[in-house]
Amino acid sequence: MGGTYTYPRYAFAAVGEQGARHPVVVVGGGMVGLAVALDLAQRGQSVVVLDDDDTVSIGSRAICHAKRSLEIYGRLGVGPALLRKGVIWNVGKVFFHDRQVYAFDLLPEPGHEYPAFVNLQQYYLEEWLVDACRASGLVELRWKSRVAAVANRADGVALTVATPAGSYDLHADWLLACDGARSFVRESLGLPFVGKVFRDRFLIADVVMQAAFPAERWFWFDPPFHPGGSVLLHRQADNVWRIDFQLGWDADPEAEKDPERVAGRVRAMLGPDVEFTLEWISVYTFRCRRLEKFRHGRTIFLGDAAHQVSPFGARGGNGGTQDADNLAWKLAAVLQGAAPEALLDSYDAERIPAADENILNSTRSTDFITPKNHAARAYRDAALELAEHYAFARPLVNSGRLSRPAVLRESPLSTPDREDWLGGLPPGAPAVDAPVRRDGADDWLLHHLGGNAFTLLLFGRPGDFPAGVLAQLGQGRLPVRPVFVTAMAEEGALHDHQGLAAARYDARPGTAILLRPDQHVAARWRAFEAAAVAQARLAALGFAAADTQRMAG
């Protein structure tokens, strides 16, 4: 099996040091671990990554990358490659028995750099992240390095690392556990990982074929070629197709992995005339569960190590990517002395509600796809029968609620609105893209937001705002950097030539919007006032309210 992708092999290098101290150690060089390492490196922070293997993700795994993830990878520099190599899709079709009951179109809004979804095998993304980590000069990737022991200390975490050249100890000031659903770090620390187990099994068959299927998401409930189960078809790069068969709880996982048996299932689906080869087979069960807290002293959990969801809705990989996006700037700020350690508690406050939202949605999808009793099946089938004829029933059909970016509504870092807004982006929302022009050249708004600073989006010409005060806000670590947006082309401003930036942010002349380094809205005002901006920045850095007033003067 296999053949469309050649797995890179990364060289193991023996580590001479014993008991060395590192500010940040990431356990698990998968998608999330590499993303958080690269994000930290781009903020000037050195990172050691430990991975027990010497290559990227085996199998395509997380293939469905949502817009917010694409924007995050865009900020990290690998977004354009994802767009070039990946498969963009907008249409989904739902079938029941032998009939199509409806189709949906995600109808992507124009005027964004990235589409709603791009499908791409996880190994490509990881390979590019490895390359970017290496190029950063600040990420040390240690392959064939398995964490064999973990002990929390007051000032960090003591690790024992097993390698082909023997074991060594090291001390991490901060340990980022990105070691997946079966996290060794989580189990070593004895942390309960509780939630719902689903009594069902699924088979993934990645199939290479030259087929006439369009790049769409097709979902079958109880089709003639797979009676009693569901089937999902998704296109990936290189003419690889993901086919996901629901097998039921009684299926024998070993027998189901037999390539002949899988080929029989695929042939029943595609018909006898479609030529295909099998690329990857996996049989899996899943749970929806999470850790009670993601931060445990100096150990912080991200991705599947922190929370696990069903695959329906593409909320696993996309949730993990948002964890990395949320944590990296905070940890860098704390390590570089720009923020108090309390800022890291906001990772729990922001990402736990986001994980719960993903768990709720993916649990509901799973309950629809796998009815628990006769009544549940009757309601599900009734919704599908009605959906063929009546639009009202289509929103009831749940074949996966596709990942949406988390709006950090209850964030302790946000400064609540004091004025009236007609929509736009409330504090906690991730920034939304818009086409702009800079010096006459086409550009995107998101390219100018976040990074190693707060961004103050000012709707007006540079001359409309007090330059001296803005220069003061631009001092120090993680300063406030102004970005001017104007309706007409102006020197030193982004030209909002379609008016979409103003519309999407509900901006009027003079509006000021403060964005965090991860491009989430921290605060917004109808008029610029330096003291309010300084105070909102300090609040977003996790300083206590009494301190922000004093420090903002």
Partner 1 sequence: MLETTPRLDDPDGLFEALVEAHRGLDPEASRRLDARIILLLANHIGSVAVVRAAIDAALNAAPDTRAKAAP
Residues that bind partner 1 (CB under 8 A): 374-375, 378-379, 381-383, 385-386, 390, 392-393, 396
Closer Cβ to partner 1, 190 or 227, answer by number: 227
Closer Cβ to partner 1, 375 or 441, answer by number: 375
Closer Cβ to partner 1, 151 or 378, answer by number: 378
CA-CA distance, 74 to 52, in Å (whole number)? 28
Q: End-to-end CA distance of the chain: give it in Å, rounded.
A: 66
Closer Cβ to partner 1, 57 or 399, answer by number: 399
β-pairing, 435-438 with 480-486?
unpaired
CA-CA distance, 489 to 362, in Å (whole number)? 45
Closer Cβ to partner 1, 383 or 539, answer by number: 383
CB of 100: closest distance to partner 1 in angstroms?
19
CB of 256: closest distance to partner 1 in angstroms?
28
Are 325 and 39 spatial neighbours (Cβ–Cβ below 8 Å)? yes
CB of 364: closest distance to partner 1 in angstroms?
14
β-pairing, 91-96 with 217-221?
parallel
What distances in angstroms separate CA 227 from CA 102, 163, 232, 273, one per listed residue?
20, 48, 14, 21
The first and second tokens of residue 445, run together, are: 């708004």
Would you call 22 helix, strand, or coil by DSSP? Answer: strand
CB of 375: closest distance to partner 1 in angstroms?
7
CB of 383: closest distance to partner 1 in angstroms?
6
Three-point CA angle 219, 225, 229, nearest 5° = 55
CB of 391: closest distance to partner 1 in angstroms?
10
CB of 537: closest distance to partner 1 in angstroms?
41
DSSP string for residues in 481-538: EEEEEESS--TTSEE-TTSHHHHHTT--TT-EEEE-TTSBEEEEESS--HHHHHHHHH
Which letter, b or e, does each residue of 71-96 get, where b requires 16 or more Cβ atoms within 10 Å of its Cβ?
bbbbbbbbbebbbebbbebeebbbbb
Closer Cβ to partner 1, 345 or 381, answer by number: 381
| Closest to 455 (Cα-Cα) out of 518, 541, 392, 389 | 518
CA-CA distance, 498 to 445, in Å (whole number)? 12
Closer Cβ to partner 1, 387 or 538, answer by number: 387
Cα dihedral 521, 522, 523, 528 sign: negative
User: 85 CB contacts (<8 Å, ≥6 apart)?
Assistant: 120, 124, 237
User: 415 CB contacts (<8 Å, ≥6 apart)?
Assistant: 427, 514, 522, 523, 532, 535, 536, 539, 540
CA-CA distance, 357 to 366, in Å (whole number)? 14
Closer Cβ to partner 1, 222 or 279, answer by number: 222
In the β-sheet with 307-308, what is the strand arrangement from edge to edge?
A: 193-197, 287-291, 307-308
CA-CA distance, 502 to 464, in Å (whole number)? 17
Closer Cβ to partner 1, 96 or 123, answer by number: 96
Closer Cβ to partner 1, 162 or 386, answer by number: 386
User: 368 CB contacts (<8 Å, ≥6 apart)?
Assistant: 380, 397, 398, 399
CB of 392: closest distance to partner 1 in angstroms?
4
CB of 382: closest distance to partner 1 in angstroms?
3
CB of 377: closest distance to partner 1 in angstroms?
9
CB of 385: closest distance to partner 1 in angstroms?
6
Closer Cβ to partner 1, 148 or 386, answer by number: 386
A 10 A CB-CB count for 48 gives 22
Closer Cβ to partner 1, 9 or 389, answer by number: 389
Are 176 and 300 spatial neighbours (Cβ–Cβ below 8 Å)? yes
CA-CA distance, 450 to 35, in Å (whole number)? 16
For the chain, give the number of residues. Answer: 553
CB of 234: closest distance to partner 1 in angstroms?
28
| Closest to 123 (Cα-Cα) out of 207, 9, 267, 278 | 9
CB of 363: closest distance to partner 1 in angstroms?
18
A 10 A CB-CB count for 383 gives 19
| Closest to 447 (Cα-Cα) out of 44, 112, 31 | 112
Closer Cβ to partner 1, 13 or 386, answer by number: 386
Closer Cβ to partner 1, 264 or 395, answer by number: 395
CB of 481: closest distance to partner 1 in angstroms?
45
